[in-house]
Structure 1
């Protein structure tokens, strides 16, 4: 299963995470018919071998995504991987250097594209706690600041926001 979880199982089925289970079933059936070993005949070619591998991959994806609880667990793991990925960070911004928007109750910082980076105090705290849970207790005690990566609301740039915590 570890090999299957490295790949996007929705992509294996040619589906999207928002598709209902009926759509996943339809896509699975189409691919299973296309790559089933019985349809490939008794050929020992590399084409038949890759077809069998594809069939096994499709079958494993369907087995995991067809069950509601395993699908939910997979979706959570998938989302966690997305959040942990390294984003291209344009710069580091101190929370004190950001502008407090009283109307929206968020800190904002202008992006060079004309858009803005925005984060609430609660979002910064939640992201810091999530990162601390990942690194463990020893490093948690040494943590002297809060941090989060914030994406621009217009373009693909992101900034690393930090807030020093005074002891």
Structure 2
């Protein structure tokens, strides 16, 4: 439905992901008034063209972020895209060194800031079952990059592919 574009839609509106719909609406209205083609008059100039382009960009961002469902989808896609990027990884953590929480079905590892790194059993299963892509060679290890729930640190959680992965049910 909504595809994550190269531009951050929140940045287009001069807002942040934590802003409410009312705050986003306020930013949208300010920018729409500023760049609306009717306010620019009939002059055809490069300045007018860039203003119209900006107006269309602002309007497209508002259409996605104003609806709760499309905003949630955009946020999820954006987060997934961020996780695929090359993050500066603080360290490598082996899955067997993490603590298993049966109730939450999640592996946890404490961060030095007091937060924690979480990997769900589903993430481990999905990554373990994932077939290598064309540019990847078959490896004996699998892993995921996980961000701390409190700070900006991330770790690479890894496990052996052909050993018994400790996904407890």
TM-score using structure 1 length: 0.68
Q: For residues 87 and 54 of structure 1, do their structure 2 counterparts lie closer, same or farther at Cα, with a shift above 3 Å needed?
A: same
Number of residue pairs matched by the alignment: 155
CA-based RMSD of the aligned residues comes to 3.8
Q: Deviations over 1:97-145 (max 9, x none)?
A: x587xxxx85568xxxx7689656xx16444344457x54889xx6643
Is 1:148 matched with 2:147? no
Q: Paired residue for 2:32? A: 32
1:50-89 alignment, distance < 5 Å:
50-89=50-89
| CA distance, structure 1, for counterparts of residue 3 and residue 98 of structure 2 | 45
Distance 1:64 1:157, change over 3 A: closer
CA distance in 2, matches of 1:118, 1:158: 10
In structure 2, stretches of 5+ residues that fail to align are 100-106, 165-169
Aligned 1:52-131 pairs, distance under 5 A: 52-90=52-90, 92-95=92-95, 98=97, 106-107=108-109, 119=117, 123=119, 125-131=121-127
CA distance in 2, matches of 1:145, 1:117: 26
1:41 and 2:41 matched = yes
After superposition, the Cα gap between the structure-2 partners of 1:150 and 1:34, relative to the gap in structure 1 and judged at 3 Å, is: same
Give the TM-score normalised by the residue count of structure 2: 0.67
Task: Determine if contact 1:95/1:107 at 8 Å carries over to the other structure.
Answer: no
For 1:138 and 1:88, the matched residues in 2 are separated by: 23
Contact 1:117 1:151 (C-alpha < 8 Å) held by counterparts: no
Please identify which structure carries the higher helix content.
1
Q: What aligned pairs does 1:151-166 form with structure 2 within 5 A after superposition?
A: 151=147, 158-164=154-160, 165-166=162-163
CA shift in 2, pair 1:7/1:131, >3 Å: farther
